[in-house]
Amino acid sequence: MKPQEFEWVSESRSSAELQAAMESLPELLRTLVGNCLIKAMYGWGCNLHMDLCYVPMRVGTQWIDRFIRESLEQSIVVPGKSDFYVQLPDERVEIMFCHESDVHVSGPDEEMRNKILGSPPFGAFAFKKRRKEAQQGAPADAPALRAGVPSAATRPRRR
């Protein structure tokens, strides 16, 4: 099986632990990939109009800390209640902070994925490898960050 067909999923974490992990991500990204553009995306449960969710945004590693901080301050992202995605250049690794209070790490770059999984705070989380679930609704030609994400027609609506 190809590495990208699997993901590593943490055990459930508290909202405070997820927020701390999100806030520590910018420094880790700058250490691992330097000054570059990455992709970020808001997903399920984010406090935005649904047309603004599941839209990849290019964000520089030099200012991803501000992007995350403002997303948290404005409650666009609520740790443990909304999905927030970050993808490294060339689709090497994707990190999803999930609305189910866990963290998903996937992607074909095994070396980079292992560096992330072994770095604080992720190194303190217990991760289990599992087959990546097929998501309904994502077109086959969807951008890589959107792959596996429900389309506007099939994704659940907030109540």
Q: What is the DSSP secondary-structure string of 89-110?
A: GGG--EEEE-TTS-EEEE-S-H
Distance, CA of 11 to CA of 92 (rounded, Å): 23
Q: Can you give the residue ranges of every domain in the chain?
A: 3-146
* pLDDT for res 116: 97
Distance, CA of 99 to CA of 10 (rounded, Å): 13
Distance, CA of 157 to CA of 45 (rounded, Å): 9
* pLDDT for res 40: 98
Peptide bond into 26 cis (omega under 30): no
* pLDDT for res 92: 96
* pLDDT for res 45: 97
Task: Report the predicted TM-score, pTM, of the whole model to 2 decimal places.
Answer: 0.82
Amino acid at 40: A
Record the tokens describing residue 44, joined without a space.
Answer: 């399920």
Amino acid at 52: L
For the chain, 159 residues long, give each residue's pLDDT as a single digit of tens.
444 489 999 999 999 999 999 999 999 999 999 999 999 999 999 999 999 999 999 999 999 999 999 999 999 999 999 999 999 999 999 999 999 999 999 999 999 999 999 999 999 999 999 998 754 333 344 444 544 444 444 444 444
Distance, CA of 99 to CA of 93 (rounded, Å): 19
* pLDDT for res 158: 45
